[in-house]
Amino acid sequence: MKKSLKSVLSLVLALVLTFSVCSVALAVEPVDEVTGFNAEDFITADGRKLVNRKGDEIQLKGVNLGAWMIWEDWLCPYEEATDHYSVLETLENRFGREAAYDLFNTYMDNWITEYDLDEIKKMGFNCVRVPFWFRNFYYDDNGTKILDENGNWDFSRLEWVVEECSERELYVILDMHGAVGYHSDAPHNGKGHSCGYYEDTEQGERYRQLTDELWSAIASKFEGNPAVAMYDLLNEPMCDVEAGELERRKNNTMAYSRLYDTVRAVDEDHVITMECIWTAFALPQAWTKGWENVVYQVHFYNNSNFIFNLFAFFTKWIYCDVPMFMGEFYPHQKTTWENCFNTLDKLDYSWCLWTYKATGHGMWSSDWCLRGSKDGFHRAKVQTDSYEEIARKWGECIRTENGFQDTGHYDNNVKGNL
């Protein structure tokens, strides 16, 4: 009996000692540092300010990832095409749809990588604005969806940039630069002289339905995600369209009201930004339309400190119940960077520079970008280069660390304002 009791006690003691040793081992096991955004970092509009859920005021200071998911010939490494639509059409006609999109994806895989997001974070920015267009998600303007390997609508490119930015505590503004049917005549919405989104026709309504479908899917995908700062519903609507101010305001109010309702049906919480382009009276007062948790956005490409200051002041004064955001700007001629940043800070604007990187003659020292292509950079000739040659020119050589250099713009103009 005593032997049995002694054996039991020994076993119990051994278990206790084992548990204690394990507990100590668990206690000293290194814990991975927690990084990235959490629910408390979620941004909302509070009066004229942006705040997170801790109540901290947030001023977004960022840079656009232009020329990544939607292209412009003066920024991008291609020739023999006028806009992104003509690039894709040329490549599809030459090599077929699948091969054309393989080249498209090769370009995007290399133009912006984790290296670039690390650089943007190290420079001190807290935000990126990501321009995209409908052809990132549809093969055409008839609603043929691009599917992933599992047969689901493919949003992996947006998911990647949001996830990577969240890990670096960079907010993301998702910017619809080109809606289905095209919402301006400017080539930067994907196709020049093709403003069909507003047409009062069955086709125009089809374009609007597909754009609704796309925004609904994007908002559903990122609903509740604290890394997404805002949904930018339409970039520069009716840009370059010959229309009076009343017609422009009417069409844009219609478009924004519809898309606002589309997004709010699936995501009640994210900030929505609407663009006041190009006058101080381009949008109605938000409260008159029942728009809540919205930011009004302006862009500036003009040639005078006085006009910049006047425009920034009047839009801030007129739209007195919403935060303001300078989504793109570049000082021309008599406008100075010092004046722009001083004015934006005094008036409590958030802002994003245009743009992070660009190719082309002189871009290696241009104020248009933080990283410019080195002299001798080779552009792809989309009408004559072979598939293999285009793939090479859009491969690792367009990675920032390989084919680009610091323009000096950050050190000379931006660094002291972050």
Euclidean distance between CA atoms 278 and 300, whole angstroms: 8
Indicate the residue type of 57.
Answer: E
Which residue's entry shows tokens 């080109």? 178
Cα distances from 70 to residues 65, 183, 300, 373, 381, in angstroms, run 10, 14, 20, 18, 18
Q: What confidence tens digit (pLDDT) does each residue in 103-124 have?
A: 999 999 999 999 999 999 999 9
Q: Is the pLDDT of residue 80 over 80?
A: yes
User: Which tokens is 290 given?
Assistant: 């029942």
The arithmetic mean of pLDDT across residues 161-165, rounded, is 98
Residue with tokens 């190009």, as numbered in its chain: 278
Q: Are strands 43-46 and 49-52 parallel, antiparallel or unpaired?
A: antiparallel
Q: How far is CA 181 from the centre of its chain?
A: 20
* Residue 289 and residue 322 in contact, taking contact as beta carbons nearer than 8 Å: no
* Residue ranges of domains in the chain, CATH in brackets: 57-417 (3.20.20.80)
Percent pLDDT > 90 in the chain is: 84
Mean pLDDT of 338-358: 97
In b/e form, how buried is each residue of 328-355, taking b as 16+ CB within 10 angstroms? Answer: bbbbeeebebebbbebbeebebbbbbbb
The structure's pTM equals: 0.91
Return d(Cα 339, Cα 71) in angstroms, integer: 30
pLDDT band, very low/low/confident/very high, at 333 (cuts 50, 70, 90): confident
* Over residues 31-49, mean pLDDT: 84
Three-class DSSP category at 13 = helix
